[in-house]
Structure 1
Amino acid sequence: MIPSLRTVRQQHRAVNAPIADLLTYRALPTDSVDYVDPFLFLNHHGPQVYRPHNQGLPFGPHPHRGFETVTFILNGDILHKDSSGHESVIAAGGIQWMTAGAGLIHAEVSSDEFKATGGPLEILQLWVNLPAAHKMTEPRYTGLQASDIPLVAAADGVVIHAVSGEWAGTTGPIASLADVQLAWLELAAGARVALPIAAARTIFFYTVAGQLRANGTDTQERQLVEFNHDGDKLTVEALTDSVLLLGHALPLKEPKIAYGPFVMNTEAEIQEAYQDYQLGKFGTWNG
């Protein structure tokens, strides 16, 4: 069969949602889109430049249960620490993949070096839902520096940073629990790439910077493109130098109850998450 192009269902503009002095655009959820199953949430922090002797990122210790966070550090750095004993500083070009699972407490702050010297910062944080069968899995964390992530020359002027799943014949280093394939792409103006993505899978397509044409539809920075499930081919053309966050996964098609830092399948499970957190079942925080 000849591959057919997916059609665009709708485009959604990220909304300005600053957090303290951190410039933030929330691409998901917004008034126009709740979530694109199984992708729950995306905050785009920056780009901005921090002065020397700054306070850094404001994300002190907080709990999570029932989903995964994937953090792309395009500029700056993040010091991750959690109640399961993981700690690392990931610099520009790296990623952090945390499976909250049954529950943990974590903090995402800037390193002492970044707070002292300042500099450019741009970070994307994506939340991905876990299927009911994995919501209470043991928490885990992987931090990868830029050098740990394979670069794939998918076409002239197109570089794919392959994080999870297979991209143009190269497999990313993260083995996702639910076959979530994620990457970010750098595209030079005029570059074009075609990627096969099965029609059953949900595409996550967020233009970080620049202007792109996706299956014939023009889009621009800080816009989320939502696709129908009516084709198995994605073509991307860069109208300017661009950066794209791209992923795909099978939709879970399960009930979703999201309340603050917890995402479960029922209200009772949300109440249980709060009770477990208050009872100290998310581990001990040693700040």
Structure 2
Amino acid sequence: MRTIKQQHRAVSAPIADLTTFRALPTESVEHLDPFLFLNHHGPQVYRPNNRGLPFGPHPHRGFETVTFILEGDILHKDSSGHESVIEAGGIQWMTAGSGLIHAEVSSDNFKKEGGPLEILQLWVNLPAKDKMVEPRYIGLQKDEIPTVKLDDGRVTVHAVSGNWAGTAGAVQPLADVQLAWLNLQAGARITLPIAAARTVFFYVVRGSLRVNGTDTKALQLVEFNHDGDALTIEASTDTVLLLGHALPFNEPIVSYGPFVMNSEAEIQQAYRDYQRGAFGTWQG
């Protein structure tokens, strides 16, 4: 069993009227290679005739964003011509690669009708060899994401990428990054094999559980040592867990605002490229 290195509490970081908890980075943890950033938006309830999500057009280069829509919806639009509305239970996987401009806002229907909203956005680094790949966007609704039932149905694994108990995830990413979110009923217990060399990303969205004998709860990011090849998870209450794992890239990470590269020179080049229009033209 892996031992726990440290638990990190997500910090309150509201954006306009959007309730937000930032789990990564915080004062106690900068990144978990190759996992760079996690914002947990909500849970909250929007009134009718609201302004929706505040993420208007902005650029990215050098990494991927994976967005989990637990409640509410997101309208994605980008300078590569992709546009879709993904609803509760769906995901968006965007490879920024060499650069694009995108917006993440609420649909007209959500702004008109309101309702509950809870969204997780995870940034995953790209290895140096893939940082300048052509941008890609995948938007999947709930019924397009395979699920796996474990522990006599008390655990549901939503397999986003990689392989989970013999079931392939919906997305085949450039790097070997396995991602899923799990719904665990109170009393559920599972053991998952994860090779010791891999970095585990383990964030409790709702509820409380015990992992490898240690208690944790909502808004906690659990950091593990590389000293074991299994996680045993026991749900103390009904729980939602964001779980991932990947081999660390062990490359320099230089980030500034919306760009994540391997050197300061590459960051400066990203700004120059963006300013000269190399990320595409935004059509409002």
TM-score (norm 1): 0.98
Q: Out of 173, 189, 194, which is 1:192 matched to?
A: 189
Residue-pair matches, total: 283
Q: Which residue of 2 aligns with 1:266?
A: 263
Deviations 1:130-159 (A, max 9, x none): 000000000000000000001100223100
Q: Which residue of 1 aligns with 2:12?
A: 16
1:248 is aligned to 2:233: no
RMSD in angstroms over aligned alpha carbons? Answer: 0.4
Q: Which residue of 2 aligns with 1:112?
A: 108
| CA-CA distance at 1:110 after TM superposition | 0.1
Q: Which residue of 1 aligns with 2:92?
A: 96
Q: Out of 102, 106, 130, which is 2:126 matched to?
A: 130
1:286 is aligned to 2:283: yes
Deviations 1:234-271 (A, max 9, x none): 11110000000000000010000010000000000000
Question: In the aligned structure 2, how far is the partner of 1:168 from the partner of 1:234?
Answer: 14
- Indicate the SS of the match to 1:153: strand
Amino acid at match of 1:256: I
Question: In the aligned structure 1, how far is the partner of 2:21 from the partner of 2:128?
Answer: 29
Deviations 1:12-54 (A, max 9, x none): 0000000000000000000000000000000000000000000
Question: In the aligned structure 2, how far is the partner of 1:155 from the partner of 1:249?
Answer: 24
1:139 is aligned to 2:170: no
Q: Out of 44, 47, 50, which is 2:43 matched to?
A: 47
Q: Out of 206, 214, 218, which is 1:209 matched to?
A: 206
Question: In the aligned structure 2, how far is the partner of 1:165 from the partner of 1:127?
Answer: 17
Q: Which residue of 1 aligns with 2:56?
A: 60
Q: What does 1:63-78 align with in structure 2 at a 5 Å threshold?
A: 63-78=59-74
Question: In the aligned structure 1, how far is the partner of 2:31 from the partner of 2:58?
Answer: 22
Amino acid at match of 1:127: W
| CA-CA distance at 1:206 after TM superposition | 0.1
1:180 is aligned to 2:177: yes
Report which stretch shifted further, 169-178 or 112-121. 169-178
Q: Out of 129, 145, 149, which is 1:149 matched to?
A: 145
Amino acid at match of 2:280: G
TM-score (norm 2): 0.99
Structure 1 unaligned residues grouped into runs of 5+: none
| CA-CA distance at 1:161 after TM superposition | 0.3
Question: In the aligned structure 2, how far is the partner of 1:26 from the partner of 1:81?
Answer: 24
| CA-CA distance at 1:173 after TM superposition | 1.4
Amino acid at match of 2:271: Y
1:121 is aligned to 2:117: yes
Off by >6 Å, runs of 4+ in structure 1: none
Q: Which residue of 1 aligns with 2:218?
A: 221
Q: Taking every aligned residue pair, what percent have the same amino acid on both sides?
A: 77
- Indicate the SS of the match to 2:280: coil
1:235 is aligned to 2:232: yes
Amino acid at match of 1:94: G
- Indicate the SS of the match to 1:194: strand
- Indicate the SS of the match to 1:116: helix
Amino acid at match of 2:4: V
Structure 2 unaligned residues grouped into runs of 5+: none
1:26 is aligned to 2:22: yes
Amino acid at match of 2:48: P
